Amino acid sequence: MTDPHDVAIVRWPGQGSGDQGGPAALLAAYHLQTQTEKGEAVADANGLPDRYRAEVLDPRAAFADDAVLVASIGDTVVGCLVVTAPVGGRCEIKRLWTDPAFRGRGIASGLVGAALAHAAEGGVSTVRLSVWRWRAGAIALYERLGFTVTESWDERDQLVCMERTAEAVTVVATEGAKV
């Protein structure tokens, strides 16, 4: 198990033309795995649907208004998460992904905690997310962190929508800040 103090979680600056130290490879892995799980496997990022390929090719542009958080151990980026810009007092967590070689070390929990801290600092009243029904481990993580299933805002089949209110956001954000 990695010492939690060895994991750094920072907002990815997205500066420069390359993705040095950025989330592109993790986003590609996330989308490729998701396509496979949906029964629509593709060989590489070039085969992804346009909106997902755009995220992989230029995360800075795709998430220009959002906060992209990355987790790293030393010089290795091992996880990422996107927090959308607030709209109407709400924001959304998207694209949580930890490199499979680094799972089980609290990285995903740390990323969610950092996302909740970011939301709380921005005065967000509700944080929401959606997750595929078959990702039982992710659903269990979100439930442990205080998210509850809510009415769907997305019509895609097999998608579970979850959210937390501001009171819960503040509690976990404080806990997540320890990472």
36-51: average pLDDT: 96
Beta bridge partners of 143: none
pTM of the model: 0.85
Q: Does domain 4-176 have CATH number 3.40.630.30?
A: yes
Q: What is the pLDDT of residues 78-126, one digit of tens each?
A: 999 999 999 999 999 999 999 999 999 999 999 999 999 999 999 999 9
Give percent of the chain above pLDDT 90: 74
Q: What is the pLDDT of residues 60-83, one digit of tens each?
A: 999 999 999 999 999 899 999 999
β-bridge pairing 126-132 and 90-98 = parallel
pLDDT at 5 over 60: no
Does residue 138 contact residue 105 with C-beta atoms inside 8 Å?
no
pLDDT tens for 136-171 read: 999 999 999 999 999 989 888 889 999 998 665 555
Residue 159 in tokens: 């998608």
State the distance between the two ends of the chain, measured CA to CA, in whole angstroms.
14
